[in-house]
Amino acid sequence: MAHCSSTIRTVIDEDFVNSSSDLCILANVHFSDGSPVRREPEVRYLGCYLNEASSVDKELNQRIAVCMQILRKLHIFWRHSECPDAVKLLALEAVLRSKLLYGLASLQLNPTHMERSDTFQLKGYRKILRMETTYVNRANTNA
């Protein structure tokens, strides 16, 4: 079990302050045996990556990559099953949307991140509905 000392000291690293104009606050956190808790620049906690910069990019990239693998694995189901498109769309929503968005509700997503997740969702819709990509047919916009 980790303990935090009662004094929190402010450490000012010249390179850090010059690059981001922020202060880094470190606490003297240690285990009950006195050994210090190792600091990591990035950790995985409850299925999400947390880093010192609070950047969402790596987490979102990793989730989209996993969902793309699942989308490719379900290609046979999307293209060759006898299910109506409505059932396929429900499967897309149930599997891929939950896989992509689980745990992201607590993150601050900027418009670029939201656009990337929307684009991925539209890619799934186009695959199910047998529509060409926007690169091939400009009438199929992402709007």
For 8-43, the pLDDT digits (tens) are 333 434 444 444 444 445 567 888 888 888 888 887
**Residue that wins the pLDDT comparison between 86 and 30:** 86
**pLDDT at residue 69, as a whole number:** 93
The model scores a pTM over 0.85: no
120: pLDDT strictly greater than 70:
yes
Average pLDDT in the 91-106 region? Answer: 81
Of 40, 43, 38, 56, nearest to 110 (Cα)?
56
What are the tens digits of pLDDT across the range 55-71?
788 888 888 898 999 99
Structure confidence at residue 4 as a pLDDT band (50, 70, 90): very low
Average pLDDT in the 101-114 region? Answer: 79
Rounded Cα distance, 16 and 39, in Å: 16
